[in-house]
Amino acid sequence: MAAHVVIKQGTTLGRETMVFEGAVLGGLPQHLALPPQSGRLVIGQRNTIREQVTVHRALHEDGSTRIGDDCLFMIGAHVAHDCQLGNQVILTNNVLLGGHVEIQDQACLGGASAVHQFGRVGRLTMVGAFARVVQDVPPFVLTDGDTGMLVGLNRVGLRRAGFNRQEVAQLKAAYQLIYRRGLAFNKMLAALETEFPEGPAAEFAVYFRGGNNRGFVQERRQPPRATIRLHQSGEASAGQESKRAAG
């Protein structure tokens, strides 16, 4: 434990976790209506928490903010109340997570990226620097930092994680089904479950079925045969309808 570290009540810190100067762990949630008693912060083992990182405990007494094992939080990263982070997650410098965010195993978030509250980032996903994540990001993909949209599979991450050629080829085929066939959402889900019942690609359907009302991040390049734009927010849809009417 380095100098000027603050670990507040309600925090559990796993063994072999290193905490560097100025980090504050277990602070009160940043919320206008704080309850009389907040929840807990549970941090796993062998994590590295660098300078000026802040992690808040859960909003309500029966809740917990949870961080898995072997994670790396670089300088200035912030994890808000009730977030749930898996194992081997990397938050690079100045990453911001809103409340109730879920980050799955081995995801990596680029510098100064931000995830909207209740957002989800899938397993082995790489989020580009400065990205603004306002919809769920599926597993195994790469997002562009400028637009926040998908630009393909996270091939470097998959290779480093030990995925073989067959597994990567399966993920590529599933990705093309999702974003290139132009299927409506329910038909896309049914096709995923039929064509990829096992293997890593089977995780796509599970992830999509667990989504929230914000929808899912789209691919930066839209397939020309698409009958609808998958998982689009209402605001974006309205904007595009306006453009069509003006045209």
CA distance 229 to 208: 15
99 is catalytic: yes
Task: Kindly report the average pLDDT of the chain as a whole number.
Answer: 91
Specify the pLDDT at position 5. Answer: 96
Q: Are 87 and 104 in contact (CB under 8 A)?
A: no
pLDDT band at 171 (very low <50, low <70, confident <90, very high): very high
- Name every residue whose Cβ is closer than 8 Å to that of residue 33 and which is 6 or more positions away in sequence: none
Could you say which DSSP state residue 20 is in? -
145-149, long-range: CB within 8 Å, 24+ apart, which pairs? 145/110, 145/113, 147/220, 148/217, 149/217, 149/218, 149/219, 149/220
Q: Give the pair of three-digit tokens for residue 162.
A: 């030990």
pLDDT score recorded for residue 214 = 83
Give the angle 73-76-82 at the CA atoms, nearest 5°: 65
Selected catalytic residue, list 27, 44, 99, 157: 99
The pLDDT confidence band at residue 230, using thresholds 50, 70 and 90, is low
Residue reference for tokens 């849809």: 237
Long-range contacts formed by 210-215: CB under 8 A, 24+ apart: 210/120, 211/120, 211/136, 212/118, 212/120, 212/136, 214/116, 214/118, 214/119, 214/134, 214/135, 214/136, 215/135, 215/136
Catalytic entry in 56, 76, 82, 128: 82
Query: What is 6-157's CATH number, 3.40.50.1860, 3.30.1280.10, 2.160.10.10, 3.40.630.30?
Result: 2.160.10.10
Domain definitions of the chain by residue range: 6-157, 161-231
Structure tokens at 169: 């080829």
> Over 80: is that where the pLDDT of 235 sits?
no
Active site residue 62: no
Has residue 228 got a pLDDT over 50? no
Superfamily of domain 161-231: Udp N-acetylglucosamine O-acyltransferase, C-terminal domain (1.20.1180.10)
Please give the average per-residue pLDDT across 16-31, as a whole number.
97
pLDDT, tens digit, 9 for 90 and up, residues 182-227: 999 999 999 999 999 999 999 999 999 998 788 999 999 755 555 4
pLDDT tens track for 119-165: 999 999 999 999 999 999 999 999 999 999 999 999 999 999 999 99
pLDDT value at residue 241: 43
The catalytic residue among 56, 78, 81, 100 is: 81
Q: What is the pLDDT of residue 222?
A: 59
Burial of 216 from C-beta contacts in 10 A (0-12 / 13-18 / 19+): buried
Dump pLDDT digits (tens) for 64-92.
Answer: 999 999 999 999 999 999 999 999 999 99
In the three-class reduction of DSSP (H, G, I as helix; E, B as strand; rest coil), residue 18 is classed as: strand
pLDDT value at residue 225: 56
For 122, phi and psi rounded to 5 degrees? -75, 175
Structure tokens at 178: 């999702």
Distance, CA of 94 to CA of 15 (rounded, Å): 25
pLDDT reading at 118 higher than 70: yes
Residue 178 carries which DSSP code? H
Residue 99 scores a pLDDT above 60? yes
